[in-house]
Amino acid sequence: MYRQQRGFFLFIFLFFVVIFLEKCSQGHGESVGTKLELIHRHHFRRNQANGMQPMTQLERLRQLLHSDTIRQRSISERLRLQKSRRQVLESPDATYYHPACTNSSRRANHDNVSGEMAMYSGADFGTGQYFVSFKVGSPARRFMLIADTGSDLTWMNCKYRCHGDKCRKKSRKRRVFRADHSSSFVTVPCSSRMCKIELANLFSLARCPSPHTPCAYDYRYSDGSSALGIFANETVTFGLTNGTKVRIHNVLVGCSESSTGQSFQGADGVMGLGYSNYSFALKAAEKFGGKFSYCLVDHLSPQNVSSYLIFGSLESEDYVTTLNRMQHTELVLGIINPFYAVNIKGISIGSIMLKIPAEVWNVNGVGGAILDSGSSLTFLTQPAYQPVMAALKLSLMSFTKLKLDIPQLEFCFNSTGFDESLVPRLVFHFADGARFVPPVKSYIIDVAAGAKCLGFVPATWPGASVIGNIMQQNHIWEFDLANNRLSFGSSSCT
Catalytic residue among 152, 268, 372, 446: 372
Rounded distance between C-alpha atoms, residue 136 and residue 138, angstroms: 7
Backbone phi and psi for residue 321, each to the nearest 5 degrees, phi listed first: -95, 125
Element containing residue 82 per DSSP (H, E): helix 57-90
Angle at 295 between CA 289 and CA 301, to 5 degrees: 160
Our CA dihedral for 384, 69, 128, 487, rounded to 10 degrees, sits at 0
Indicate the DSSP class of residue 198: I
Amino acid at 139: P
Q: Which residues contact 17 (CB under 8 A, 6 or more apart)?
A: none
Helices (H), 175-287: 193, 280-287
Q: What angle do CA 185, 189, 195 make, to 5 degrees?
A: 110
Residues facing 142 on adjacent strands: 135
148 is catalytic: yes
Q: Given CA atoms 446, 447, 452, 456 in this order, what sign does their dihedral have?
A: negative
Question: Among residues 148, 152, 223, 268, which one is catalytic?
Answer: 148
Report helix, strand or coil for 435.
Answer: strand
Instruction: Report how far residue 265's alpha carbon sits from residue 244's, in angstroms, rounded to the nearest whole number.
Output: 32
The CB-side HSE value for 424 (13 A sphere, CA atoms) comes to: 17
Q: How far apart are CA 209 and CA 486, in angstroms?
A: 45
Clarify whether 268 is annotated catalytic.
Answer: no
Give the catalytic positions in this structure: 148, 372
